Amino acid sequence: MVLTNKGSFSYLQDNVNYLQIDGALSIRIERINNNVARVYIANAENVQQPVPPHITMADSAGAPVLPFLENFLITWFGSYVLSINGQPHMILNNQKRQSIIGPSYAASGVV
């Protein structure tokens, strides 16, 4: 399966992002606070479902992220892979970027 960019998730906004699994289930990503979000499974009626045993998550080092109360808890500084039947279905890739904020009169750019 080829994975393509499907947008981005912000820990600073209250939007709930989703990625469809099939006609019945989707993956949801929801901010808990500025540092932590939860990834969970929802049905077509937007009701959270138990994490099926064939859906797993791991961090960028390959360490399992175990479900806690039917949520995978993630942080802004990590990268993660959610797999279905052992095949990657969603990658959450930390972009390791910072915004630069300064006085409006100060010149800025890239050298």
CA pair distance 43, 26, nearest whole angstrom: 6
| pLDDT tens for each residue of the chain, 111 residues long | 789 999 899 999 999 999 999 999 999 999 999 999 999 999 999 999 999 999 999 999 999 999 999 999 999 999 999 999 999 999 999 987 767 788 888 888 877
What local confidence, expressed as pLDDT, does residue 3 receive? Answer: 92
Give residue 36's pLDDT. Answer: 96
Instruction: Tokens for 36, please give them.
Output: 């932590």
Give the integer Cα–Cα distance in Å for 61 and 48.
28
- Residue bearing tokens 């998730």: 9
